[in-house]
Structure formats: C-alpha cells, structure tokens
Structure 1
Amino acid sequence: MMKQQMSGEAESVLEVRDLSVAYGKVEALHSANVRVGVGQIVTVIGPNGAGKTTMLSAIMGQLAGSGEVSFVGQSQAGVSVEGRVNRGMSLVPERRELFASMTVEDNLLMGAYARYRQGLRNHQETMTEVFQRFPRLKERRNQFAGTLSGGERAMLVLGRALMAKPKVLLLDEPSLGLAPLIVKEIFHIISDLRRSGVAILLVEQNARAALQVSDFGYVLETGTIVFEGPSADLIHDQRVAETYLGAAARSLQ
C-alpha cells in the first residue's frame, strides 16, 4: 500500500480515524483514516460499492460506526446530524433531493435554516454570494426547482449547501448522470470554492476529474483505503492509472 503524508499540512478541519461501518455481519468500511485541511479539496475515489457513500454518511452521523470523527479539533461522538450541521458540516448527497414545488430562491433559503435558528440574519447577503457563483440560479430564482435541468439541479444543491456557510463540504458524486460539458462546469465550480475557504471532501467515480481538482486523494476498494497521496502523484501512479483512469490517463503521463 502506498502511504504518503500531506506535504505542508494545513490546519485540520476534518479528521477521521479508524472509521469502520458494518451492515449486520458485512463490514462496508474498514479502519478508514482521512484528513482534510483548511482550504483543501480532498477526494475519495473508487468503484461502485467501495464504501464511499457509507464513509460520508458515517462522518455526518447518519450511520453508526466505530472509530473517531474529529471536526475543528472536537470529537463528534454523540453529536447528532443536526448538531454537526450547526457546527459547520454540510453534506450534498448524490440524489440531489430538492423541494420540487418550491422556487429556486426558497430552496436556497432552506439551506440557511439552521443559521436562522441560531439567530443569524445575514442569509440575504449569503444568497447574493451564491448568485454571484451561480448566475444561472439567479436567472431562475423564481422558477420551481422541479422544472430545472440536471445541471441546474446540481448547482442548486451546491448553492443550498453553501447557504449554511459550512467549514467543510462533503460532496457525494456531484457529477453523477450529468452531460460531459456540465460535469466540466461543476468541477470548475468545485475548484473555485477553494477561494472561499471552505474545505471539501469529494467522493467521486469520475477519478480523473476528481484528482485534477483536488490536493490529496484516497483510493477506496471494498471498504479499505488501498492508496493515498497527493493527487498529482496519484494521477501519474501506474497502478492507480491502469485501474481507475484507463486510456485517458496515458495522455496525462
């Protein structure tokens, strides 16, 4: 197994130690160790059924597991999903679930609900920032979410998550089912989010695109991390390239 440490390590936002999850007698995730630093994009790649979504769900507290999840230096043991959201963790699931009969603007406002409950009233300022990042959402602010295209829905779920002003954003397969041009746009947006200071843990099957925008990567197979290292090294590693990047990887060598 290739083991490398993050060079010039940034201050840790999210640290996962020995995280394991089992469905009955079947272990879906085994002793996973993942670290995300401030302003970093870290990706987890791997095939279907590798345990990627399970990892994100366990980090958010949606699934019970063993091991430790530490967020901004504090253990999340016993902290509910809502509590983790309030502290600054945000998950964008692959299903892109939206309130179809509500407008784009109202869907975005739902993303700021936790902050509103905490007494924060700067959601309009945050929405302006989201519209600057996603001009297409501004154009469709009064349109029902259920009428949006697949790419617009992907932008809306990202924008809604950003309304919560997260310190770390967990993205589950953001490119799933999207046309190649839209995938390129979504990954450009993800890369650009680094400027806002939010840390990102990106789970993806599109390994090449994920490694190209990330700082550090982990390769997950059947619940176990089998490779890890700086993304620039992984994308040129022969074993990773042959298994996950295919013929397209050879043009990157």
Structure 2
Amino acid sequence: MVVNPVLEVHDLHVAYGKVEALHGASLQVGAGQIVTVIGPNGAGKSTMLNALAGAMPVNGSMRGTVRFLGQDTAGVAVETRVARGMCLVPEKRELFASMTVEDNLLLGSYRRYKARESGYADQMAVVYELFPRLQERRKQQAGSLSGGERQMLALGRALMAKPRLLLLDEPSLGLAPLIVKEIFHIIVRLKQSGVAILLVEQNARAALQAADYAYVLETGEIALQGPAAELAHDPRVIDTYLGLAKKAG
C-alpha cells in the first residue's frame, strides 16, 4: 500500500466504441516513485495513459475511479490536469518541428507564464542541467534533432511545467541501446527530485531495472504485479519478456 499516493486508479475500464481495451485495471503511484507497466503491443498500455491524462478519442469511453493528488479526475479537462501537475509525454513526442529547441521548451511553461508564476523561466536552467545536449542545440529546429534528442526535448518540455506526475509512453521507442540507457538514467534522476513517474514500456528489462514497482498488462488486464526487482526474477516474466538467456544467467 502506497502512503499518500499521487495517483490512484481503481477498476478502470476503457472502451473504443463497443470494444473494451482495458478491463478493471487498478494501480497506485507514490511521490518520488517510478511505477512501470510492461506488456506486449496491443495490451492496452497507451490506452491506459491516454485515459489517465484525459486524452480520450471521440469514440472512447471510460469508467472507474482515477484520483490525482487525492482529487477525482472525472470530468476534469486535460488543461486542468496539466495545471494541477499531471503531464503526459506521448509515444510520438509531438514536438513542433519547425520551432527551435528553446521555443519548444518555453511552450511547456506557457501555462505557468500565463498564470504569471514567478520564476517560471528558471526551470529552463534545470532542464539544461539534465539535458546538456539540448542547451547545445537550443537554437536548432526540433525537426533537425536525432531520435534520442527529440525524446530528451519531449521530456524537457514536460518538465518545464514542474509536474508532480509524469506519464511516460514508450520513451525508449526507436532508440539505439546506448541512448536508451541514457534516457533511463535521466528518468531515475527525475525520480530523485520527487517527481512521481508512471512509465509504460515494451523494453521490460530497462523498465524493471529503473522502476520501484511494476505491473504486467496483458490483453487489457493486470496479470501480475509486485516490486520491480521481484518481477525481474519471476519465471513468467523472464520467459515472456526478458528472454530465456536471462534465466540461464
């Protein structure tokens, strides 16, 4: 049981039209905790994140309870969730390719600027400290960046909003192994700053190494859950997600 959870999800069902993609999922994320959801393609992982962020498609529907910082999110708009500190970094990153790195980052702090929060621009220094490469390329167009740099920019833009909860959708997708290692190193550093992270990943090995707690999602249902270090040694997880070589080693 998580003490003072940032995110509480209970019996979440999500459907597209008449097809139910998520069946009764329940999970919790605490402050300064990385919780990962692993599973195969089509298991419902991205569907879960979009539902939590309030980014449901027109033909989508959901039922169940989602509480963020103790408040029910039913009927709460995406913009309001962001203002309260919930930020989604989508799988496709969705950057503004023709804008500079710096302008993309500034867009992440637009809500804070509009609310006239003091020190909103100071967060840029925090992002550049985490991602020195972004500072080097701050005047370049986002569309000219490598895949790893675009992922860093997507993370940095979300951090400009000073989130309490980051929803990360497949941050390693399409990246070279060395870049994946770097991205996950940064994710662990974010946790140390007190940000709660819900990480959806197909790269089960990297996710379980970084996370505190893990859920295995299969065909829309939570099939397994437990401390990430324990699931990493569970024979069912090893055989299905980590490969047979892991067992031998």
Structure 2 counterpart of 1:194, from 179, 191, 212 = 191
| 1:58 and 2:51 matched | yes
Distance 2:247 2:161 in 1: 40
| 1:46 and 2:39 matched | yes
Amino acid at match of 1:84: R
- Equivalence for 2:225: 228
Give the 4+ runs in structure 1 shifted more than 3 A: none
Structure 1 counterpart of 2:14, from 8, 21, 24 = 21
- Equivalence for 1:143: 140
Amino acid at match of 2:52: I
User: Which of 167-176 and 115-124 deviates more?
Assistant: 115-124
8 Å contact kept, 1:88–1:166: yes
- Equivalence for 1:3: none
Shift of 1:76: 0.5
Distance 1:110 1:129 in 2: 16
| 1:157 and 2:150 matched | no
- Equivalence for 1:30: 23
3-state SS, counterpart of residue 175 of structure 2: coil
| 1:204 and 2:201 matched | yes
Distance 1:39 1:141 in 2: 29
Distance 1:248 1:25 in 2: 41
Task: Deviation per CA, 1:160-214: give whole Å up to 9, x if none.
Answer: 0000000000000000000010001001111111111100000000001000000
8 Å contact kept, 1:155–1:186: yes
Shift of 1:34: 1.0
- Equivalence for 2:167: 170
Distance 2:246 2:195 in 1: 29
Amino acid at match of 2:128: F
8 Å contact kept, 1:109–1:123: no
Distance 1:25 1:105 in 2: 43
Distance 1:186 1:171 in 2: 12
Amino acid at match of 1:117: K
Structure 2 counterpart of 1:91, from 88, 92, 107 = 88
TM-score normalised per structure 1: 0.94
Amino acid at match of 2:109: A
Structure 2 counterpart of 1:125, from 122, 131, 136 = 122
Structure 2 counterpart of 1:75, from 69, 72, 76 = 72
Amino acid at match of 2:39: G
Distance 1:175 1:227 in 2: 22
Task: Deviation per CA, 1:58-108: give whole Å up to 9, x if none.
Answer: 001112310011001000111011110111000000001111111100000
| 1:249 and 2:249 matched | no
3-state SS, counterpart of residue 227 of structure 1: strand
Q: How many pairs were matched up?
A: 245
- Segments of 5+ residues of structure 1 without an aligned counterpart are 1-5
Shift of 1:228: 0.3
Identity %: 68
Shift of 1:154: 0.5
8 Å contact kept, 2:109–2:121: no
Shift of 1:250: 2.1
3-state SS, counterpart of residue 65 of structure 1: strand
Q: CA RMSD in A?
A: 1.1
